[in-house]
Amino acid sequence: MRVKIIACTPNPDLIAGAATRGCLSKKSAAESLESEEEEKLRKALRTAVGRGHYSVLEHNRALWLVEGASEREILRLPAKHKFLEISRVGDDAWVLSANLRVVLEMARSEKNELADKLVESMRRVSTTFAELIR
C-alpha cells in the first residue's frame, strides 16, 4: 500500500496553537499567529490536547492519495471517523481528507498499515503532532 500526502494546511500545529491561544487570551487566533513565538503556540497546543481539548486540532486539513488499499479497509473508516472524507479516484486508488484530530484519533484507535502510514505522513508535517501521538 502506498500513502502519499498531496496537500496540507501549512504549519498545522502553529494554526492549532493559535486557535488555542485565541480561546485563552484577548488576542484573536490571527493576532496570536502573527505575534506569538512558535514555541509558545506549540506549548499551548500540547497543553490543550493534554487536557482533552481536541477541537483545536480541527483547524487544518490534509489530503492523501492512497493506492493499493482494499475497498473494505477504506470504506469502514468513515463509520469510525465521521470527519474523514473519502473519494474513489481509481480501481484501487482513493483520496482521503481529514484534520489532525481525525488522524490523532486514528493513531489511538487503529492498528493497521493505513492508519500507521497516515500518522507517519503527519509526523513529517508537524513536529508537535509527532509529540502528541507518542
pLDDT, averaged across the chain? 88
Average pLDDT estimate for 39-56: 90
| Domain containing residue 112 | 2-132
Give the DSSP H or E segment for 32. Answer: helix 29-35
Global pTM reads 0.85
Distance CA 97, CA 93 (A): 13
Q: 90 pLDDT exceeds 70?
A: yes
Average pLDDT estimate for 55-63: 92
Distance of CA 75 to the CA centre of its chain: 19
| DSSP annotation string for 72-111 | HHHHTHHHH-TT-EEEEEETTEEEEEE-HHHHHHHHHH--
Q: 97 pLDDT exceeds 80?
A: yes
Q: 134 pLDDT exceeds 70?
A: no
- Count of structural domains, the chain: 1
Q: Residue 25 belongs to a domain with what CATH number?
A: 3.30.1360.170
Average pLDDT estimate for 8-23: 87
